[in-house]
Amino acid sequence: MIKKKKEKAQHYTLFKTSLGMCGISWSEKGVTGFQLPEKTLEDTKQKLLEKRGDRIFVPLSSDSTSIPDWIKKGVRQIQGYLKGEKSNLSDIPVDLEGVPEFHKAVYQAAEGIPIGKVATYGELAKIVRSPGAARAVGNALAKNPIALIIPCHRIIGGDGKLGGFSAYGSLAAKVKLLELEGAQIAQKNGSGRNSVKQNGKEWSQVSSVSWDGAALALRKSDPEMADLIRRVGPCALKPDTKQDPFHAFLESILYQQLTSKAAQTILGRLKQLFSHGDFPTPQELLDLPLEKLRSAGISQNKALAARDLALKTMKGVIPTLSEAKKMSNESLIQQMTEVRGIGQWTVEMFLIFNLGRPDVLPVTDYGVRKGFARTFGKKELPSPKQLEAYGEKWKPYRTTAAWYLWRALELP
């Protein structure tokens, strides 16, 4: 007979907030459960006890030695948050042992949504690499054992409607929490159905969770990365999302293996070859004799690559900006590397600095590899395979990780 492994007992306590009595439970690793106020104190307690294993009650008091200091601090943060303070609850450690892997991925993605912002079920599905699984994301959030700390209240429907919420009071509770964070809640056409406004408009989808949210998730998943992020400060990545692929890749070709200053000089000379003094159109570049193109200081190989890029753009091989935004990373890499002089690294730079894709890790980039070695105290650079393997723990925020590894080279 196989004996069932006995779960370790967890501790819990109840505490007052401006909304009523809340409950929190924890293990040695982190918070295992959180309960917003129910109709009665007994209901709150029972709801908490239903979550993930046995629990031993510990009275909350300032001199209690049975409650870790980090739990006492977390309780104070929650109390402040429910009074309207901008408390960062994502700093509270959580323990998701035993939670299904898909649910974990959803919860980690939700933790990346900054206070006062919202994301849709569909967006979270894309972030956890399950596009089309919005319903499964909703089911995972409905089973969130650590509500509020894992902010499932910040997830709404793609049409701006609030969706469900499992806490007592349902949507009224969700509205209350969002309003505490500064989100604007509006009723649509007197129907009584609430929707969320963000940036002054009814909800419209965004491409990814913010860089700040991504940095926060990285800090929680990787201690070494957390130290690097602390030393560097907020992520200042600002993709140029308006530059079309032809101009972006033409610039990339010209910049290859040159200093920034030298490349800027050559690009300036290229623009001066045309009466408008700006980037040429694909047709204008093709009409320019090769010798004239080379007179700007462009090498033979780069000139041929630029002409190939222009030709393939004219033939429709190179996507427009709107088309590129709809393509997957893999499809864009495959399509763009058909152009002479454009490899995977060049396309990865476009994905990061033009499309702002959140999960790109250029494993062949010298700066990223050097930054990794410095951050993790390695004497030798990691191989691309080693970096790719380690980077699995940074998903789905590998772009932010790469940005911080580049910044590591600027630290004293």
Instruction: Indicate which CATH number applies to the domain containing 149.
Output: 1.10.10.10
Residue of 95, 222, 359, 365 with catalytic role: 365
The predicted pLDDT at position 86 comes to: 78
User: Where a domain ends, among 66, 91, 116?
Assistant: 91
Do residues 117 and 184 touch, judged by C-beta distance below 8 A? no
105 shares a domain with 86: no
Catalytic annotation present for 278: no
Tell me the C-alpha distance between 283 and 281, whole Å: 5
Instruction: Indicate which CATH number applies to the domain containing 38.
Output: 3.30.160.70
pLDDT digits over 308-319, tens only? 999 999 999 899
330 shares a domain with 249: yes
Query: By mean pLDDT, which of 6-15, 109-118, 161-170, 334-343 is the weakest?
Result: 161-170
User: Where a domain ends, among 91, 119, 134?
Assistant: 91
Residue 368 placed within a domain: no
114 shares a domain with 30: no
258 Cβ partners below 8 Å, 6+ apart? 266
Residue 135 placed within a domain: yes
The predicted pLDDT at position 203 comes to: 36
Mean pLDDT for 60-89 is 84
167 shares a domain with 139: yes
CA distances from 228 to 163, 319, 367 (A): 37, 37, 15
The predicted pLDDT at position 54 comes to: 67
The predicted pLDDT at position 206 comes to: 34
- Checking if the pLDDT of 385 tops 60, the result is yes
Number of domains present in the structure of the chain: 3
- Checking if the pLDDT of 186 tops 60, the result is no
- Checking if the pLDDT of 200 tops 50, the result is no
Tell me the C-alpha distance between 36 and 272, whole Å: 65
pLDDT band, very low/low/confident/very high, at 274 (cuts 50, 70, 90): very high
Share of the chain above pLDDT 70, in %: 88
27 shares a domain with 63: yes
Query: By mean pLDDT, which of 201-205, 234-238, 264-268, 407-411 is the weakest?
Result: 201-205
User: Where a domain ends, among 353, 384, 403?
Assistant: 353
pLDDT band, very low/low/confident/very high, at 199 (cuts 50, 70, 90): very low
Do residues 320 and 326 touch, judged by C-beta distance below 8 A? no
Tokens of 63: 């001199």
The predicted pLDDT at position 169 comes to: 67
CA distances from 260 to 18, 234, 266, 267, 354 (A): 56, 25, 10, 10, 18
More confident residue, 377 or 201: 377
Do residues 327 and 319 touch, judged by C-beta distance below 8 A? yes
Residue 115 placed within a domain: yes
112 Cβ partners below 8 Å, 6+ apart? 127, 209, 210, 213, 214, 216, 217, 397
344 shares a domain with 267: yes
Mean pLDDT for 270-286 is 94
246 Cβ partners below 8 Å, 6+ apart? 282, 309, 310, 313, 318
Mean pLDDT for 243-261 is 91
69 shares a domain with 43: yes
Do residues 120 and 137 touch, judged by C-beta distance below 8 A? no
pLDDT band, very low/low/confident/very high, at 64 (cuts 50, 70, 90): low
Q: Which residue has the tokens 């319903």?
A: 135
| Strand 184-187 relative to strand 194-198, pairing | antiparallel
Q: Which domain holds residue 69?
A: 10-91
Instruction: Indicate which CATH number applies to the domain containing 345.
Output: 1.10.340.30
What residues does 187 pair with on adjacent strands? 194
The predicted pLDDT at position 67 comes to: 87
The predicted pLDDT at position 159 comes to: 67
The predicted pLDDT at position 196 comes to: 56
Mean pLDDT for 212-237 is 87
